[in-house]
Amino acid sequence: MKPGYYNRYSEHLVKKFGQKVYKLPVNLPGTCPNRDGRLGMGGCIFCDNQGSGFDCLPNTVSIREQLEANKLFFCKRFNARKFIVYFQAYTNTYLQLDRFKANISEAVGVDDLVGLSVSTRPDCVNDRYLDFLSEIRERYGLDINIELGLQTVNYHTLHRINRGHTLAEFIDAVLRIKKHDFATCAHLILNLPWDVMDDVRENAKLLSALGIEYVKLHSLYVVRGTVLGDMYEKGEVGIISLDDYVLRVAEFLKCLDPDMVIQRLVGKGPRADLLFSNWGLSWWLVKQRIEDYLVKNGIYQGLQFDYLDGKAVRFLPDAD
């Protein structure tokens, strides 16, 4: 493997579908069990009110209209021909099954789709919803994956950021998704204030051990008016330096299964009320810093992927 290599999503899509494929985001009015009182109030400490749908069209626009408008944009700008519907904001399986079915059915009627991606929380993955998605795959021949926010494998940190679930729910969700033969994409934040380098390594190792197919990385952003924003303004939490963050991403990639696909190496923060995002740099400059570091230091994805399949006994000779 060449220094600097990591398994890029755009290249993976071209290999898989024979051409470039674009994601069409869908933004639905919704909430999250961690905000409406079912599991907790106020949500994750970094969550702003938009449930991570800040790059989408307003959620008052119908699903079909959002998809057609986004499709037109990608067709005009990039001459796009194939698309994945992406239910992005909030928790898209946290609604009654009938409503979920109606949403999915409205979306998959759009022409030129090759896939469907549904973003949700680990504690909102249920067999009945996955059974319905299996029917959709059968009927429309779509490639389907489920995106799960995990953020970190450190369950103490999960508690501190008020996620409302622990690591066990994530593992249960991944196993259910696998049972239905869908792919999983896990979201991680590698610079949560309470996590250290060992957590970064364990993030990579757990995802690899579970055979997860995709990962999205996001550096922590801080929005005014959130619990994290208040902590940040009072000086109760700090953010590691960009140099330290680059080290963490490099370490993560080293430990990661080389077959796992990196859907995103660096995320964008929302545009308004930001107290901190990407060290004041554009996301692509952060990405460049990471890629330069990898090349300069001979690092590539999977460099230290040597810990599965009974590492301690793997090299022992067989008894005669």
Task: By CB under 6 A, name the binding residues for ligand SF4.
Answer: 32, 34-35, 43-44, 47, 51-52, 90-91, 121, 149
Of residues 43 and 302, the one with the C-beta less far from ligand SF4 = 43
Closest CA relative to residue 285, chosen from 268, 298, 302: 268
Tokens of 160: 């501190």
DSSP lists the bridge partners of residue 188 as 151, 217
Of residues 187 and 205, the one with the C-beta less far from ligand SF4 = 187
Nearest to ligand SF4 by Cβ — which residue?
Answer: 43
Token pair 């699903």 in the structure block, residue: 63
Positive or negative, the Cα torsion across 204, 206, 208, 213?
Answer: negative
308: three-class secondary structure by DSSP:
coil
Of residues 16 and 99, the one with the C-beta less far from ligand SF4 = 99
CB 47 → ligand SF4: shortest distance, Å?
Answer: 3
Of residues 228 and 247, the one with the C-beta less far from ligand SF4 = 228
CB 91 → ligand SF4: shortest distance, Å?
Answer: 6
CB 228 → ligand SF4: shortest distance, Å?
Answer: 11
CB 25 → ligand SF4: shortest distance, Å?
Answer: 15
CB 267 → ligand SF4: shortest distance, Å?
Answer: 13
Of residues 137 and 165, the one with the C-beta less far from ligand SF4 = 165
CB 152 → ligand SF4: shortest distance, Å?
Answer: 13
Tell me, letter by letter, the H, E, C secondary structure of 150-166.
EECCCHHHHHHCCCCCC
Of residues 91 and 278, the one with the C-beta less far from ligand SF4 = 91
Cβ 120 vs Cβ 168: under 8 Å: no
CA 165-169-171 angle, 5° bins: 135
Q: 119 phi and psi, to 5 degrees?
A: -95, 135
